[in-house]
Structure 1
Amino acid sequence: MTRRLPGTTALLALEAAARHRSFARAAQELSLSEGAISRQIAKLESLLDVRLFHRVGNRVELTEPGARYAADMREALDLIERKTRQLQAESRVDAPLEIGVIPTFASRWLIPRMARFHQCHPQIRINLRERTEPFDLADSGLHAAINVEHPAWAGMQVEPLFQAPLLAVCHPDLAGRPPAGLPLLHKHEDGEQWADYARHSGIDLPATHGGPRYDRFSLLIDAARAGMGMALVPRLYVEDDLRDGRLVAPWPEVAQLSERYVLVSRPGEDPTALGALRRWLLEEIGGRPAGATTPAP
């Protein structure tokens, strides 16, 4: 069935005239004559069989249906422009990859290794964009995201990267304290992790929900370094701290508790540069010391 759709020239004329409340200023912006703008609006009104503007002297005012339609068409034009620029950028050989990353993962694991990626792929530029929570990738302007497994990625292409075991860590001065008397530090959205840890480890933690809460693992780690209590964090974030003695892990590691990291991209969208990044990530993970990260099945 043939679609009866207005042309883009008419929609651009509508958007500009609605924004300026003036055919003359719309004509100036679009490098057209005022008469051409008027004719485009007239053709649009004829197609829709709806009056879009009232002419008031040298100005124009949108009718109620005209205001609704203009707002809807502005959103449609914005979407067309955004998708067009996105495709143009992806088609360029030297276009950068836009990757959404968890800030702590980026600063403590990814960025320290990026020099190796650039040595192998000097022609690929990667821009990292901070994303603390799972988000709508489809309309984000990003090529991919490195994040934790989450229902928000339904409908996307999700490739498992690795599972990072969670480890209970604290300042060395607190290591000798009995577990029941040691403050527990929490990540905001993970309210049950200490209860799960107590159940699997057999350690008696009578107050698993009390204690300060922090938005990011990086803040939890800083608080543990400062001696504020025990933090439950992915091992890969604290390996340097454990090696250098800034933190210790006096309690047992629980195999059932881990963060599962994935690479998320849109289905059917696989720029060559993204494939190179995917292969490099898997190679880096495969080369990690035993126990640091476990490649996800």
Structure 2
Amino acid sequence: MRRAAEQLCVTQAAVSRAVARLEDRLGYPLFDRHAQGVLPTARALDLRQRVEQSVDAIEQAFTELRKSRTRRRALRVCVVPTLGTRWLMPRLGRFQALYPDIAIELRQSRRDEDFRRDDVDVWIEIKRPSQPWPRGITARYLLGREITPVCAPEIAARLKTPANLLKEKLLYHTSYPGNWTLWLGAADVKNSNVELGGGFDLAANLIVAASSGMGVAVLQPCLVERELATGELVRPFALTTSTGRGYYVCARKATADEGVAAIFMAWLRTLTKASAV
């Protein structure tokens, strides 16, 4: 009785009461009780032989169910570096809280992604206007089409109209040198010879340059949320304009609507819908 109580993590008295209830239900004793202890009766041994296999099966079933609840499913995500570190990473904790059984593994992004990798389930990629999405890939717009000027507060203080930007050092991303012409055109600033300042091949470096007062950058607001919130950067003008590109969440068509890829993609869309309200 003592050893049974230890195995079941209950008191010895609880085991004795459970045995007594079982004997009452059966209508006969299961143990011969002596001063030296208790011994199972022949009927008890027969009962054990009849139910032991079924009890073991029940125990095994519950063990497997407990394991299935704690087993984590892997989701392999490849995301454009700057968007990943500045927009996605600060939000991943929310996803993990909602879906603790899904373990996200981030994969390194490639400049010329062809979506043939077998180590990625979901991509977050920039749309390339000259290249269609591959036939086997589903791509859904996420965010980041809009661009707007951002700069340090001391620079913004002297910018009274968009035309004043032509007197400043216009910082730009070397992959998208036309962004300034696009935004200035939307602001009705007539100047066919826009002189660009420093160029950067990483948006992260472009953001640091603008924050340090090197000039004015034109960027997607989603990449500078923290700087805008802290005041390191400000938007001298509220105008935004679309580049027609933006970031898309992509997955294979065979898995885009089921499993962990579908869960993650749906969660991403709730984020962008909430930010649009």
TM range, smaller chain: 0.5 to 0.7
Q: Residue 207 of structure 1: CA displacement?
A: 4.6
Percent of aligned pairs with the same amino acid? 24
Higher relative contact order (CA 8 A, sep 6+): 2
Show the counterpart of 1:173: 154
> Could you list the runs of 5+ residues in structure 1 that have no partner in the other structure?
1-92, 291-297
Whether 1:241 aligns to 2:227 is: yes
Q: Note the 1:1-297 alignment, pairs <5 A.
A: 94-131=72-109, 133-150=111-128, 151=131, 153-155=133-135, 156-175=137-156, 176-177=158-159, 178-204=164-190, 207-257=193-243, 259-270=245-256, 272-288=259-275, 290=277
Counterpart CA distance in 2 for 1:234 and 1:208 is 20
Q: Residue 192 of structure 1: CA displacement?
A: 1.1
Counterpart CA distance in 2 for 1:204 and 1:224 is 24
Larger Rg: 2
For residues 179-210 of structure 1, the C-alpha deviation after alignment (integer angstroms, 9 at most, x for no partner) is: 22100111111021111112111135565353
SS at match of 1:211: coil
Q: Residue 141 of structure 1: CA displacement?
A: 2.3
Q: Residue 225 of structure 1: CA displacement?
A: 0.5
Counterpart CA distance in 2 for 1:285 and 1:252 is 20
SS at match of 2:102: coil
The 1:98/1:157 distance shift into structure 2, 3 A limit, reads same
The answer to whether the Cα contact below 8 Å between 1:102 and 1:146 also exists between their aligned partners in 2 is yes
Q: Residue 152 of structure 1: CA displacement?
A: 5.5
SS at match of 1:239: helix
Q: Residue 213 of structure 1: CA displacement?
A: 1.1
Please provide the CA RMSD for this pair. 2.2
SS at match of 2:242: coil
Counterpart CA distance in 2 for 1:132 and 1:230 is 28
The answer to whether the Cα contact below 8 Å between 1:166 and 1:258 also exists between their aligned partners in 2 is no
Counterpart CA distance in 2 for 1:180 and 1:248 is 18
What letter corresponds to residue 190 of structure 1 in structure 2? Y
For residues 251-276 of structure 1, the C-alpha deviation after alignment (integer angstroms, 9 at most, x for no partner) is: 34233346422111122134511111
Show the counterpart of 2:36: none
What letter corresponds to residue 111 of structure 1 in structure 2? M
Show the counterpart of 1:4: none
SS at match of 1:243: helix
Counterpart CA distance in 2 for 1:170 and 1:95 is 42
Scaled by the length of structure 1, what TM-score is found? 0.61
Q: Residue 162 of structure 1: CA displacement?
A: 3.0
| Number of residue-to-residue matches in the alignment | 198
SS at match of 1:287: helix
SS at match of 1:218: helix
Scaled by the length of structure 2, what TM-score is found? 0.65
SS at match of 1:133: coil
What letter corresponds to residue 110 of structure 1 in structure 2? L
The answer to whether the Cα contact below 8 Å between 2:141 and 2:246 also exists between their aligned partners in 1 is yes
What letter corresponds to residue 180 of structure 2 in structure 1? W
For residues 67-108 of structure 1, the C-alpha deviation after alignment (integer angstroms, 9 at most, x for no partner) is: xxxxxxxxxxxxxxxxxxxxxxxxxx7442111101111111
